[in-house]
Amino acid sequence: MDNKWDIIAEIPDLTGKVAIVTGAKYIDYSRWKGTIADHKSSSPQGIGYHIAHQLAIKGAKVYVGARNREKSQNAIDEMLQSTPSLVHERLVPLAMDLNDFQQVQSTARGILEREERLDILVNNATRFLGPYLFTTELLPLLKMTARQAPGVRIVNVSSRVHLALPTGVQFSSLDDFNQDFGSEDDHQSNRLRYGLSKLAMVLFSKEIQRRANEEGIPMVATSMHPGGVRTDISVRGMIDSRIS
C-alpha cells in the first residue's frame, strides 16, 4: 500500500454536476452508551457520508440518501457544520428505504421529473434488489447525461465476500435469489447470503457496462470492494455498547 490517493488534489471540479449517494447517513454518537462517544472525533463515520461530503466540497449538487428524512438532514447539517463554505442548496435530502420497492420507484421517478442531468450514482451500504430497481429507473437520465457530457459514473459498493460463495451459484430463478445456505439465521449462512447479494451487484455492474459499450455510451459502471475501512460500523463492532 505504498500509493496514497489525495482526495483534495485528485477529485476534479464537479461544479454543475448532479450526484446521488445512498447510505450517506450521519451517526449521532450521543445516543451511545459507554466509550463509543469518545470516538466521535476520530471516527470517519461511514463511507457514504464522506463520499457525499467530498462530492459536495468539489461543487456537485448531491442528493444525500438515508432511510428517512431525519437521518438525511442530520448528515447534511453535519457537512455544513464541518465545512461552512458549502452551498446549502447543493445538499438535497433524499429519504428512501431501499427495502420498500414502491418507495424506491417513486423516489427515482421524482428525481427524473426534477433533474435534467445525473452524473454520478453511488449505491453504498446496500444489498441488491433495491439498488437494482433504483439504478434501472435512473438509467435513462444517466445515459442521456453521458451522451451530452461524457464522464458519468455508476459506482456500486460491493464486497470481496462474494468470493466465499460455493462454486456453481447461479441467478436463473427466484429460488436462486432466496437461498438460505442451510439456515435462516446463523453467522455463516448470513455471510453467504450477503455474499450472494454482492455477487449480484458485481454482475449487475458488469452488465450495465457491457450494454453501455454496446450502445456506444461514454459512461463507466463499476463495483468495488472498499477494503478494511474504520467506519462507524467497525467502531461499533469493536466496542461493547448498546443504543440507549
At 46 the pLDDT is 82
What is the grid cell recorded at 124? 453504498
According to the 3-state scheme, what is the secondary structure of the chain?
CCCCCCHHHHCCCCCCCEEEECCCCCCCHHHECHHHHHHCCCCCCCHHHHHHHHHHHCCCEEEEEECCHHHHHHHHHHHHHHCCCCCHHHEEEEECCCCCHHHHHHHHHHHHHHCCCCCEEEECCCCCHHHHHHHHHHHHHHHHHHHHCCCEEEEEECCHHHHHCCCCCCCCCHHHHCCCCCCCCCHHHHHHHHHHHHHHHHHHHHHHHHHHHHHCCCEEEEEECCCCCCCHHHHHHHCCCCEC
Q: Is the C-alpha dihedral spanning 210, 220, 146, 127 positive or negative?
A: positive
At 21 the pLDDT is 97
132 is catalytic: no
At 235 the pLDDT is 44
At 227 the pLDDT is 58
Domains in the chain (CATH in brackets) are: 18-163+197-239 (3.40.50.720)
At 125 the pLDDT is 73
pTM: 0.83
At 193 the pLDDT is 75
Among residues 26, 29, 49, 194, the one annotated as catalytic is 194
The partner residues of 74 in beta bridges, in order of sequence, read none
At 1 the pLDDT is 53
At 66 the pLDDT is 94
Residue with cell 452488465: 207
**Low pLDDT (below 70) residues in the chain:** 1-2, 27-45, 227-244
Selection from 94, 106, 82, 110 nearest residue 48 by Cα: 94
Cβ-based neighbour number of residue 89 at 10 Å? 7
